[in-house]
Structure 1
């Protein structure tokens, strides 16, 4: 039986993000997954990588500390969940043009060097090959504002650092799902319209999870597109502006 990990990052247990994560949990179970959960705020997950006596000569190096197994129990538990899961579904809002800090810190601490990546096993050869990540995201901005030419920046580019972090470990990244204009300032008919739209999103989660094998994946350059110095080879057009 396949395993799905639901990672959610919102401080309110009654937020739409929390409800959406619960819908993913139900959908995954109905699809036959064994479900693991990491509600980062409810867990009071510490996002800060902290220097600690490591027995390694010189300044504290988190990669060396992780590689030698000097990690805290909470980070080790999260790494084990990632290792167990074929699918990881992330639920979070966009705050200040990126995911909440607690989710970035989860990556810093749970994607353990020497376990979920290392110098010789990353990108095409990452230990998480065959695993898929799906982002279920809310924005306070409208769809046009985070679309092409939008004032608040394209949502796919705002998500790219998190996506590429997971790609570094070997993950495939499914086309993200987003709900826009999710905030507490709507009133009257506008609030009712938002509630109807969000209810429809929750109702569609079962079909989304069930059809995930057919959902498009984001394209990234394979390792062979880069030269020995780590630069795109001549004549290969960048897939993303970050490589341009």
Structure 2
């Protein structure tokens, strides 16, 4: 009988407070993965002091274009094997992982700038993608990514008709970033109403709800293979760079004119 191979999970935590719920949720993910016999890799970006600001100072002068062009500079450094050490470390983790689970809060209607900067620096042109290896031909086909995100707003406020904006749309640019690399993107796991202004009974209710979420998380990870995905248009749904008239629209970001 053939033995099942070990799954490698990369957990990326993006929160500056080690006592935050996001940190506890990431810890619950790690415990759940380890209980299943998985190998776990960790990137706690704030604890690592990861620098999210891309720029020419990270690269050897021979790789830097004048004027500075981020794509050309990354490509030259990747081909020469001279990417920044912190970036190369993260790249090695992403390449080793079968799945990535991102834990982060939603701030100002988007993931934290630290996570955006991690994408800009780590998902390097010429190393993690290029013109011929993206979307359906991405280098990370067969791998998955899951967002575990918190919002301060209530679930109703984050719905499609909510005052805070549709959280699925707010997270779509990050989802499409991983889609660009070839990942299968799972529908985000969201926990709402997580903020520090609850008092009295409301605070106790929140704390109990969050504890219940952490307890239930082990089963969610156990059922990971059955989690729903985010639909995207395949490459052949486009013609001359635009969505074909007979192709479905899966998002308001890529849609037919009314």
With normalisation by structure 1, the TM-score equals 0.97
Which runs of 5 or more structure 2 residues have no equivalent in the other structure? 1-5
Cα RMSD, aligned residues only: 1.1
Q: Distance in 1 between matches of 2:8 and 2:207?
A: 31
Gaps of at least 5 residues in structure 1 are none
Task: Please state how far the C-alpha of 1:34 moved relative to its aligned partner.
Answer: 0.5
Which residue of structure 2 aligns with residue 62 of structure 1?
70
Residue 42 of structure 1 aligns to a residue in which SS? helix
- What residue number does 1:113 align with? 125
The question of whether the paired residues in 1 share the 8 Å contact of 2:56 and 2:64 is answered with no
> 4+ runs of 1 displaced by more than 6 Å?
none
SS in 2 for 1:65: helix
In structure 2, how many angstroms separate the alpha carbons of the residues matched to 1:125 and 1:192?
49
Instruction: Quote the Cα distance in structure 1 between the aligned partners of 2:227 and 2:18.
Output: 29
Per-residue CA shift, 1:46-79, capped at 9, x if unaligned?
0000114244554222222222224211011101
For 1:153-186, what per-residue CA distance to the aligned partner results, in whole angstroms no more than 9, with x for missing partners?
0110010010000000001111111111100111
Residues 54 and 65 in structure 1, CA contact (< 8 A), matched pair in contact too: no
Task: Give the secondary structure class of the aligned counterpart of 2:162.
Answer: coil
Select between 189-198 and 66-75 the one with higher mean Cα deviation: 66-75
Per-residue Cα deviation, 1:102-158 (whole angstroms, up to 9, x for no partner): 000000011121221111000001011111101110000000000021011011001
Inter-partner Cα distance in structure 1 for 2:69 and 2:41? 30
Say if 1:211 and 1:71 are closer, same or farther in 2 by CA, change over 3 A: same
Residue 80 of structure 1 corresponds to which residue in structure 2?
Answer: 92
| Match status 1:36 vs 2:41 | yes
Whole-angstrom CA distance in 1 between matches of 2:89 and 2:131:
23
Distance across 2 between alignment mates of 1:20 and 1:147: 22
Find 2:28's aligned residue among 18, 23, 30: 23
Q: For 2:172, which of 153, 157, 160 is the aligned residue?
A: 160
The SS at the match of 2:46 is coil
**Across the two proteins, how many residue pairs are aligned to each other?**
243
